[in-house]
């Protein structure tokens, strides 16, 4: 049976999106999802999302990694599904939606989506890196020259190594450009490669920059290979709340595929 799909991207982080309010999509078919995300033999994407009906919110977001398994929260995916919900006329400029890590508030104006992220109440400060969870787990490591850094090799080593092992983590390498500007490259688990951008990753970087006293700004600009994002927040004794991820979310194309 052929079904319509929509392709969206947020600063180069791209997603296949289905309107699954009728609950037709075979969510347990991880092979199908993996094949659809494959860049040579499928549509190609960093992940796949389903927009579903929700009793308490405007809609529900269900996110799958490119490996076919259901994933943790995806910040750029969250921004893209808000743009998709507007395209479907489910929402106008404001929304409240359900995701795996709870309820998220968001606004959309002129294809720019501001997404409120989960609070961060626990941060691990290690000798060479910072670890925190922004809806997904993130290892944040500051480096001197990000342009020549081997993100794939080092990211894979950290993702599978101690102390993360099989459960794994996303890995962010960061270079400070200005007190409130950071260049970020991310190795994403589930994609098992470097992506052009990672929403929960840049959120983690912004908080790590404040936590490590590299910046006094509560509005951090993040440069990724796919484009620019902004993260703002409030903090009180290393507890972070009102965290907002802002950036573009763009419709790419519509197609149909056999499900």
Catalytic residues: 74, 198
CATH architecture of 123-247: Roll (3.10)
Calpha distance 99→113 (Å, rounded): 16
What are 176's two structure tokens? 């400070």
pLDDT truncated to tens, each residue of the chain (259 aa)?
899 999 999 999 999 999 999 999 999 999 999 999 999 999 999 999 999 999 999 999 999 999 999 999 999 999 999 999 999 999 999 999 999 999 999 999 998 999 999 999 999 999 899 999 999 999 999 999 999 999 999 999 999 888 887 789 999 999 999 999 999 999 999 999 999 999 999 999 999 999 999 999 999 999 999 999 999 999 988 899 999 999 999 999 999 999 9
Q: What is the pTM of this model?
A: 0.95
123-247 shares the fold of 2-117+249-258:
yes
Pairing of strands 137-142, 170-178: parallel
CATH architecture of 2-117+249-258: Roll (3.10)
Sequence ranges of the domains in the chain: 2-117+249-258, 123-247
Pairing of strands 181-188, 170-178: antiparallel
SS3 content of the chain, % helix, strand, coil (to 5): 20, 45, 35
């Amino acid at each position: 049976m052929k079904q319509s799909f929509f392709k969206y991207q947020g600063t180069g982080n791209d997603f296949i999106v289905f309107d699954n309010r009728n609950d037709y999509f075979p969510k347990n078919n991880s092979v199908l999802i993996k094949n659809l995300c494959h860049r040579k033999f499928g549509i190609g994407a960093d992940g796949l999302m389903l927009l579903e009906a929700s009793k308490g919110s405007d809609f529900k977001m269900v996110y799958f990694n490119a490996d076919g398994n259901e994933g943790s929260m995806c910040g750029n995916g969250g921004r893209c599904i808000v743009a998709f919900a507007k395209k479907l006329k489910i929402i106008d400029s404001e929304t409240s939606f359900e995701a795996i890590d709870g309820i998220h508030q968001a606004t959309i104006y002129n294809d720019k989506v501001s997404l409120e992220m989960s609070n961060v109440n626990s941060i691990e400060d290690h000798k060479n890196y910072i670890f925190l969870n922004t809806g997904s787990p993130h290892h944040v490591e500051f480096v001197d020259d990000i342009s020549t850094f081997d993100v794939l090799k080092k990211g894979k080593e950290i993702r599978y190594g101690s102390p993360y092992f099989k459960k794994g983590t996303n890995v962010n390498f960061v270079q400070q450009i200005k007190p409130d500007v950071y260049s970020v490259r991310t190795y994403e688990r589930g994609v098992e490669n470097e992506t052009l951008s990672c929403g929960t990753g840049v959120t983690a970087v912004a908080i790590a920059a404040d936590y490590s006293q590299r910046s006094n700004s509560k509005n951090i600009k993040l440069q990724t290979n796919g484009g620019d994002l902004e993260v703002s927040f409030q903090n009180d004794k290393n507890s972070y709340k009102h965290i907002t991820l802002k950036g573009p979310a763009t419709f790419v194309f519509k197609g149909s595929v056999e499900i």
